[in-house]
Amino acid sequence: MSEDKTMYDHGWPVSEKLVENVKALYTRVMEENKAALIAVDGGVGEGKTTLCTHIGDIAQGSPIDFNKQLAMGGEQFMQKLELCYKEGLHVLVYDEAGDFNKRGALTKLNQTLNRVFETYRAFKILIIVALPNFGVLDNQLFDNKIPRMLVHLRGRTKKQGNFRAYSLYRMLYVRHYMKDQKMVVKEKAYDRVDPNFVGHFLNLPKEREALLASVSTKGKISFLKKTSVELGNYLTYQQLALKVGRSENWTRQAVSKLKIKPARVIDTAKYFSPETVQHLKDEIKRRQA
Amino acid sequence: MVDFQNSNAVGAPAADITRVLVLERRYYVIEAIKNYQRLLNKGMTVDSYEIKAGLAALFLEQQGAFRRNFKQEDEFMQIAEELLGDNKITYERCVVIFWKLNEILDKVKITQLDTKRQYDSTLVTDEDEEKGT
């Protein structure tokens, strides 16, 4: 097999069994009006986003629109869900990677998913979630029988990615073993339950991969920029105002008067160095004198 | 055979005892067919009287169930006369009768073992439906 191969002989870039299962789940959503979530989990670089894209394409029957149907992180999720509803799209990929280290992100993820399936079920939407470990999904989601298939990725090679798929029934067992205190290596929990089927998937075609990269990195770059601001202890107008005990309006005017230049500008937000606080305090003293 | 002198047998539900008796009768018929085939293939002249006797016992054991499950009453009556009369019946006819009785025993779930629903475990939707998840 050549490294450039992007399609198997049966016409899909994933094993045929996965195609069959995804179609069955899509039918469940569309015809039986039932909720369904497909969880794709695995470590960094295993191809979660790629496989989610493949699954989305299979379910929809045509390539998904990354700008409308791929949400990077929780913030985009609700916006794109609404967009999908308006445009009559029935597949949405939620790549949780953008939220991975935000405090409270997991609680928010669970809350969001629960809310979505309680209120948006009538929209007939199949949600595909990419996350590092499906164990973060909470009990309520499982009690509501929302996750219908787990695709666990492991051992990606240069030529193809590899996965094991579990039904909800088997997922519950994996989850049970994962919670076992003696299970030091969580990955071992997957080995204790036989998957329903195993399979492989191929990379996206080059042009599509580039498109995906541009959409997914856009979110990640913005996240990285914000992180660099946090790491550099830069301050916004609001934070400066709090530090000097003045209103935000007063702070803006003072900064303007003192002609202090922002250390960083991300999108339209200005960030100032920590020394700005001292300049503002000096300005307050001058005005009081 | 079921030991009716045994207190366990006396205390057991009649349906359970009957089931065991039917299985025993059926076992004897199969053994008789086996013996017939063994001797026949050895080159000996054999008779089907043992098979007929076994079939008659099996027939009487579940007479009601057989009557209810034969599509035509005439067929049931004909088999009853053949098995319980003093006539001789050929080996081939014995096998045909046993085949029919065996089918009924399977239908009424006395000998049926494959009662578990078969599903495709590689289809997650099928498995979850079967398991009730």
Report if residue B125 sits inside a domain: no
Tell me which chain B residues have a C-beta less than 8 angstroms from the C-beta of A170.
Answer: 127
pLDDT number for residue A215: 80
Q: What is the pLDDT of residues B78-127, one digit of tens each?
A: 999 999 999 999 999 999 999 999 999 999 888 888 877 888 999 999 99
Task: Assign A162 to helix, strand or coil.
Answer: strand
Q: Residue A228 has what pLDDT? A: 63
Choose the closest CB to B131 out of A25, A165, A169.
A169
Q: Is the residue at B6 inside a domain?
A: no
Please tell me the distance in Å from A172's CA to the nearest CA on chain B.
Answer: 10
Tell me what pLDDT residue B127 has: 92
Place of tokens 């997914």: A216
pLDDT above 90: percentage of residues in chain B? 69
Given a contact cutoff of 8 angstroms between Cβ atoms, the answer to whether A48 and A153 are in contact is yes
Mean pLDDT of the residues in chain B: 91
Calpha distance A229→A101 (Å, rounded): 15
Q: What is the predicted ipTM?
A: 0.70
What is the model's pLDDT at position A2?
Answer: 46
pLDDT at A245: 92
Does residue B68 lie in a domain region?
Answer: yes
Q: How many A-B residue pairs are in contact by the CB < 8 A criterion?
A: 42
- β-pairing, A126-131 with A36-41? parallel
Q: Report pTM.
A: 0.67
In a domain, B93, yes or no: yes
pLDDT of residue B95: 96
Per-residue pLDDT at B51 exceeds 60: yes
CB contact under 8 A, B123 and A172: no
Q: What is the pLDDT of residue A17?
A: 96
Task: Tell me, yes or no, whether B89 lies in a domain.
Answer: yes
Nearest to A174 by CA among A141, A134, A145: A134
Note whether A148 contacts B122, CB cutoff 8 Å. Answer: no
pLDDT tens digits along A206-247? 899 888 888 876 666 666 666 666 656 788 898 899 999 999
**Residues of chain B contacting A176 with CB distance shorter than 8 Å:** none
Say yes or no: B131 contacts chain A, CB-CB below 8 A.
Answer: yes
| Cβ-Cβ contacts under 8 Å, A134 against chain B | none
Q: Say how many domains are in chain B.
A: 1
Per-window interface: A 8-47 vs B, CB < 8 A: 17, 20-21, 24-25, 28
For residue B82, is it within any domain?
yes
Query: Which residues in chain B are closer than 8 Å to A199, comparing Cβ atoms?
Result: none
Residue A55 in contact with partner chain B when CB distance is under 8 A: no
Q: Which of B122, B123, B133 sits opposite A172 (nearest CB)?
A: B133
Nearest-Cα distance to chain B for A108, in Å, is 25
Residue B4 located in a structural domain? no
Taking only residues 96 to 125 of chain B, the set having a beta carbon closer than 8 angstroms to any beta carbon of chain A reads 121-125
% of chain B at pLDDT higher than 70: 99
**What is the predicted pLDDT for the residue at B12?**
82
Nearest chain A residue to B121, by CA: A196
* B32 occurs within a structural domain: yes
Beta-bridge partner residues of A92: A127
**Angle CA A154–A160–A163, to nearest 5:** 35
Whether residues A21 and B128 touch (CB distance < 8 A) is answered with no
DSSP letters along A177-210, please? HHH-TT--STTHHHHTS--SEEEEE-PPPHHHHH
Q: Which of residues 25-64 of B touch A (CB under 8 A)?
A: none
Which stretches in chain A have pLDDT values below 50? 1-2
Q: What domain range is B74 assigned to?
A: 14-111
What pLDDT score was predicted for residue A1?
44
Distance from CA of A38 to the nearest CA of B (A): 11
